[in-house]
Structure 1
Amino acid sequence: MGHLPSSMGLGLPNLETLFLGRNELSGIIPSSISNSTRLSRIGLSENMFTGNIPPSFGELKFLRSLNLGYNKLTSESELPFVTSLVNCKLLEILVLGPNPIKGTLPKSLGNLSTSLELLDATGCQIKGVIPAEIGNLGNLVDLSLVDNYLTGSVPVTIGKLAMIQSLKISNTTIEGTIPGSICDLTNLVGLDLSKNKLSGSIPSCLKNISSLQSLLLDSNELSSIIPTTLWSLGNILILNLSSNALSGSLTQEIGNIKSVTQLDLSSNQFSGSIPSTTGQLQSLKELNFSNNRLQADIPKSFGDLLSLEVLDLSQNSLSGNIPKSLEKLVYLKYLNVSANKLRGEIPTEGPFANFTAEPFLHNDGLCGVSRFHVSSCRHTISTKHRFLYYGLPVMSSTILVAVFIIGLLRHRNKNRKLPIQVDSSPGVAHRRISYHEILQATNNLSEDNLVGRGSVGLVYKGILSDGMVLAIKVFDLERQGASKSFDAECEVMRNIRHRNLVKVISSCSNLDFRALVLEYMPNGNLDKWLYSHNHCLEVLQRLDIVIDVATALEHQTFKEKMIAYSL
């Protein structure tokens, strides 16, 4: 530990660089340092200097960088050293904090060098308002006024900082609204206005800042809804809107911010259901929707968040089961779904093998193994058991009716000649569709067009140039038997036409590609309607389905007989 001599600089008039950081130096900074008139870079950070910051720094005409951070420096109330630095026309970097400087920012701040790129006054205990003149620093790239006692509002002139990339004014007491002029900062990468008293709504024009990667507006008094335009920030990595008074529902557009790694909307007043498209945010590592008014189920699509490490959905009104799809989240270290209305069995595989009881507290309907401190699922009637108790007799009756119908249909066919079955549904004309057309229709077999998976291939939704919508079943020729399966399906489907069977429009085949072009069924597959919790069919509707399936099977048997007869 030592001091800088009071004669510092007297014998070094040509000194250009002075770096004495991390040397445990104490005492005051001697004003004689300005006698080294050629000084361009000064680094005195991370020492224990006390006293006022000498205004004599303003005599250093060639000064480009001044770093005084992490000391115990103070200043007079109007920060005269800032005014003195106006003479340093080449100044590019000014680091003042943390230091207990106190005082207020003078209007002369706006007269600092137009070359200034970095101004850091973090943790300086500065009071008063941010002067409007700050907008004159048009070449600022990085501005930090974090951890101060600032009052007033964010000046509208902040929108003049055209080159700025990082703007941090957090943990102060500024109030008012977020000025719309902030949307003019089109080079902005990081915006931190957290831990203030800002009110009003989030500006919808933030969508104009396409470069934005970090947006921190948490711990304010913001209200209204989240503008849907916010979900168009395609490069956003960190989004924190927590601890405000935001309300409304979360929209499906949330799935558009696919690059986001941290998303925190906790401690607001959001209601409605969690959008299923949240499962599309596959770069997410931390997701926090806790302490809101969210309802309905936890989306099964959360199982697609394979990078997720933290998931907090606590203190909502979520119902339904904990999706077993969450067992796939191998990186999940923290889970909290407590204080909801969840029911059913708690999963035990994957990350659930490491969880204790705390994440599941205050959900009266949950059951599972003893280490979760919930009742055993043997004391509850699961959905499958309810089906056995109540649904099986109904389904048995339905099957008997279907068998009876099939018997009647076959008996009828035995007593008639083999007529040609006429398809009573509107026909779909056969047409030639090339491999190139299939690629165009499916956006080069994009996953966005994928609608189903089978044992021998994939099914894509395709739209031809004339607007015709198709289902295209592409066979995976690397799988054993796929080529034979294609030939067999072509043989069967070209001979069978029935209103209850999907129509074949065309086929496409070459040495490396096999595909069937089918009529597109917009309502999804039968499995979804029979077994999904999101779709409900009455008994009579299920009976109609059984009859239609039986009729199609009977017709297929009839056609096979007819083909055999013709041979």
Structure 2
Amino acid sequence: MKELVLVATNLMGAIPTSIFNISSLLSLSLSENNLSSNLPSNIGLWLPNLHGLLLVGNKLTGIIPESISNASKLTLLDLNSNAFTDDILPTTIGNFSASLENIQADHCGIRGNIPNEIALGKLQILDLSNNRLQGSIPDDICPLKNMGDLRLNENELFGLIPECLGNITSLRYLYLNSNKLAFVIPTRLGNLKDISEINMSSNSLNGNLPPQLGSFKVATLIDFSMNQFTGKIPSTIIGLQNLVTLSLAHNKFQGSIPDLFGSMVSLEFLDLSYNDLSDVIPKSLETLSHLSYLNVSFNKLRGEIPNGVPFANFTIQPFMLNDALCDAPKFQVPACHTSSFHHLRKKRVALALYILLQIASILLATTFVFLFIKCRRYKSLSNVDLLPTITPPRITYQQFFRATNGFSESNLLGMGSFGSVYKAILEDTTVFAIKVFNLQVEGAFKSFDIECEIMRHIRHRNLTKVISSCSNLDFKALVLEYMPNGSLEKWLYSYNYFLDMLQRLDIMIDVACALEYLHPDYSMPLVHCDLKPNNILLDDDFVAHVSDFGIAKLLDFGENVTHTNTIATFGYIAPKFGLEGLVSTSCDVYSYGILLMETFTRLKPTDEMFFEDMTMKRWINESLPNAISHVIDTNLLKLEEEHLTAVVL
């Protein structure tokens, strides 16, 4: 006898021990019966050829005998839906390393830890869900290169999700939901490029969702609900065109619902309820023809509920308890204004906004033309200091100390790689900025010498002026012109500050003029090497001044490229030069392009949405000219819309 199949035949009582003496058996299936009692202690001793053992859906109790490992050719072990009461499997399970491919033991009442010996080399399916397993997920699982289905959900597992799970690149199904797992999702899980379903709901996971989740290109189900995730919904998720089910409910996500959700054409189930999402429900969701379930309740959404397909089939429940949603009476929320005057106003605003966006795209596309014209206009002034030169007497360390209130944190303006900048008020009430170098940092001495040498020879209205210095063996500092409006970084990313479209354009023109002076106009071309928002300072009139020449490089006559050992800030480095330590004026031009895009989008080049092939440049190129509203800083659009509303009315 090679196969014994007695499925759903209403067998009762204990399994006869004689069955386990049929040494010729290849497959034994006694599933879906009422068999009870313990498994025989000699279950595997006389089954040397057994490949499949299926005891699903019975009432078996006790332990899983160690002798089962003597069935050394077993490839499938299915014990689902029984009532075992001891450790999941004996440590002798390791004897199956050359054969066992499929272990299924869900709903078995098993408790204890997952044994390290479960790491069987040929294992493809491991289902230990719906038990009472405790402890952490062992790293020993990670070398299982053939694993395609891992289900540890509905247990009491705690601790971290092992980062090395990202090494099991064969995984298609990963279910870790309903445990007590904590901390963040490892970024290495982005390596699971063939994952089809991933469920980590109902844990205590927190932090931001890693942008690497955008690698799940073939995923059809993602469920991270019932956790404590924060931050914005990562835009990288939006590129998952095969996604059918997405649940991010019961977290602490903030910001708006990404408009590009409308591009997820396969989406049928979307649950964003119980978060802190704000702004409007994107009308782009109307294009999701397969969407049959949507829930955005218990957020802070406002504005009109879209009325196209599939919204026509929804009830009020998915929209309940938001800030200010409005629509027709069917949703039992306040009606939006529907007068003809209101519609006319909306059309006018929409038309005006469309015109504004086209103008904005033209501005961005032709910025360099404006820069060239304006820089040439400034050229006659390039070598003239337009601000009065303030030359204090030589300043001692004691004067520095008093002027900064003992280098107090209340006087701290900012910190850089080589030191800190303080606001200093001298006894005659003159205000300066003092850059104090941290001489404990490698490279600080050289940075001080470079900045002193460079700033002694250059002079331009868009460069920060070095007025004096203090230098001895244990203290080095520069006295700089004070910039009351701080850095461009502050004005872009602080909630209490805002720059309108023209201010941003003027700032970028100022920076371009500074570069035009440093590159071709200066007697020896000078490469700044670290152009970024923190190094653009704004004076009383919001004139921009390029600062921090601590890693700048001078090019000799006829020299186009030089070498540096100090790498600039990641995200602003020209790939062709910076990563190899080679710099040229082209590096500054590249950094300027990044800075230009960042200034008008209010997104850093290191934002989580930019990874692998999706760079800031590519994102903007793909959005112009028809989707500029997706890339322009939303605060700019809101301000212009309010202004245009007032104009057209």
TM-score by shorter chain over 0.5: yes
Asked whether the equivalents of residues 280 and 302 of structure 2 are also in contact (C-alpha less than 8 Å), the reply is yes
- Of the candidates 115, 119, 126, which is equivalent to residue 73 of structure 2? 115
Aligned-pair CA distance for 1:277: 1.4
Aligned-pair CA distance for 1:134: 1.3
Distance 1:56 1:361, change over 3 A: same
> In the alignment, what sits opposite 2:23?
61
Alignment deviations for residues 401-424 of structure 1 (CA, whole Å, 9 cap, x no partner)? xxxxxxxxxxxxxxxxxxxxxx99
Distance 1:527 1:115, change over 3 A: closer
Distance 2:54 2:637 in 1: 71
Does residue 51 of the first structure (1) align with residue 51 of the second (2)? no
Alignment deviations for residues 337-390 of structure 1 (CA, whole Å, 9 cap, x no partner)? 1111000111111211211111111113111111111111118999976996xx
Does residue 265 of the first structure (1) align with residue 242 of the second (2)? no
Asked whether the equivalents of residues 280 and 301 of structure 2 are also in contact (C-alpha less than 8 Å), the reply is yes
Q: Tell me, what secondary structure is at the counterpart of 2:278?
A: coil
- Bigger radius of gyration, 1 or 2? 1
Distance 1:251 1:531, change over 3 A: closer
Q: Tell me, what secondary structure is at the counterpart of 1:325?
A: helix
> In the alignment, what sits opposite 1:406?
none
Asked whether the equivalents of residues 167 and 191 of structure 2 are also in contact (C-alpha less than 8 Å), the reply is no
Aligned-pair CA distance for 1:154: 0.3
Distance 2:268 2:9 in 1: 39
Aligned-pair CA distance for 1:464: 12
Asked whether the equivalents of residues 44 and 67 of structure 2 are also in contact (C-alpha less than 8 Å), the reply is no
Where does 1:339-350 land on structure 2 (aligned, <5 Å)?
Answer: 339-350=298-309
- Of the candidates 521, 528, 534, which is equivalent to residue 633 of structure 2? 534
- Of the candidates 132, 135, 140, which is equivalent to residue 173 of structure 1? 132
Distance 2:637 2:295 in 1: 36
Where does 1:461-500 land on structure 2 (aligned, <5 Å)?
Answer: none
Distance 1:308 1:541 in 2: 33
Where does 1:64-83 land on structure 2 (aligned, <5 Å)?
Answer: 64-76=26-38, 79-80=39-40, 83=42
Which runs of 5 or more residues in structure 1 are unaligned? Answer: 1-38, 399-422, 427-462, 470-519, 543-567
> In the alignment, what sits opposite 1:96?
55
- Of the candidates 197, 205, 212, which is equivalent to residue 238 of structure 1? 197
Aligned partner letter, 2:285: L
> In the alignment, what sits opposite 1:430?
none
Distance 1:268 1:466, change over 3 A: closer
- Of the candidates 346, 359, 362, which is equivalent to residue 318 of structure 2? 359
Q: Tell me, what secondary structure is at the counterpart of 1:246?
A: strand
> In the alignment, what sits opposite 2:148?
189
Does residue 164 of the first structure (1) align with residue 263 of the second (2)? no
Aligned-pair CA distance for 1:527: 8.0
> In the alignment, what sits opposite 2:483?
none
Distance 1:49 1:102 in 2: 16
Aligned-pair CA distance for 1:107: 2.1
TM-score under structure 1 length normalisation: 0.63
Aligned-pair CA distance for 1:84: 3.5
How many residues align? The count is 386
Aligned partner letter, 1:268: N
Aligned-pair CA distance for 1:521: 11
Distance 1:465 1:126, change over 3 A: same
Where does 1:52-451 land on structure 2 (aligned, <5 Å)?
Answer: 52-76=14-38, 79-80=39-40, 83-111=42-70, 113-130=71-88, 131-138=90-97, 139-159=99-119, 161-378=120-337
> In the alignment, what sits opposite 1:407?
none
Alignment deviations for residues 507-561 of structure 1 (CA, whole Å, 9 cap, x no partner)? xxxxxxxxxxxxx89976688777867344499999xxxxxxxxxxxxxxxxxxx
Distance 2:66 2:87 in 1: 10
Aligned-pair CA distance for 1:96: 1.0
Aligned-pair CA distance for 1:222: 0.4
Distance 1:235 1:254 in 2: 12
Asked whether the equivalents of residues 629 and 637 of structure 2 are also in contact (C-alpha less than 8 Å), the reply is no
Distance 1:522 1:278 in 2: 15
Distance 1:346 1:168, change over 3 A: same
Distance 1:324 1:216 in 2: 33
Q: For the aligned residues, what is the CA RMSD?
A: 3.5
Distance 2:344 2:628 in 1: 16
Q: Tell me, what secondary structure is at the counterpart of 1:133?
A: helix
Q: Tell me, what secondary structure is at the counterpart of 2:294?
A: strand
Aligned-pair CA distance for 1:181: 0.4
Aligned-pair CA distance for 1:101: 1.0
TM-score under structure 2 length normalisation: 0.55
Asked whether the equivalents of residues 57 and 84 of structure 1 are also in contact (C-alpha less than 8 Å), the reply is no
Aligned-pair CA distance for 1:231: 1.9
Distance 2:336 2:638 in 1: 28
> In the alignment, what sits opposite 1:500?
none
Distance 1:539 1:45 in 2: 66
Aligned-pair CA distance for 1:61: 1.5
Aligned partner letter, 2:25: L
Distance 1:302 1:155 in 2: 42
Distance 1:335 1:528 in 2: 25
Distance 1:540 1:321, change over 3 A: closer
Aligned partner letter, 2:134: E
Distance 1:325 1:539 in 2: 19
Per chain length, whose mean CA-contact separation is higher, i.e. which structure has more relative contact order (CA < 8 Å, sep 6+)?
Answer: 2
Distance 1:167 1:353, change over 3 A: same
Alignment deviations for residues 43-83 of structure 1 (CA, whole Å, 9 cap, x no partner)? 0111101111011122212111100000011123xx21x52
Aligned-pair CA distance for 1:208: 1.2
Aligned-pair CA distance for 1:151: 1.1
Aligned partner letter, 2:87: V
Aligned-pair CA distance for 1:86: 1.7
Distance 1:247 1:331, change over 3 A: same
Aligned-pair CA distance for 1:256: 1.1
Asked whether the equivalents of residues 278 and 301 of structure 1 are also in contact (C-alpha less than 8 Å), the reply is no
Alignment deviations for residues 263-299 of structure 1 (CA, whole Å, 9 cap, x no partner)? 0000000011101111101000000000111110001
Asked whether the equivalents of residues 110 and 133 of structure 1 are also in contact (C-alpha less than 8 Å), the reply is yes
Aligned-pair CA distance for 1:137: 1.2
| Aligned residues with identical type, % of pairs | 39
Q: Tell me, what secondary structure is at the counterpart of 1:122?
A: coil
Aligned-pair CA distance for 1:250: 1.2
Aligned-pair CA distance for 1:133: 1.4
Distance 2:175 2:169 in 1: 16
> In the alignment, what sits opposite 1:486?
none
Asked whether the equivalents of residues 101 and 125 of structure 1 are also in contact (C-alpha less than 8 Å), the reply is yes
Alignment deviations for residues 213-233 of structure 1 (CA, whole Å, 9 cap, x no partner)? 000000000001000111220
Alignment deviations for residues 119-149 of structure 1 (CA, whole Å, 9 cap, x no partner)? 0101111111122111211211110111011
Aligned partner letter, 1:41: E
Runs of 4+ in 1 over 3 A off after TM superposition: 379-388, 423-426, 463-469, 520-542
Aligned partner letter, 1:141: E
> In the alignment, what sits opposite 1:493?
none
Distance 1:202 1:262, change over 3 A: same
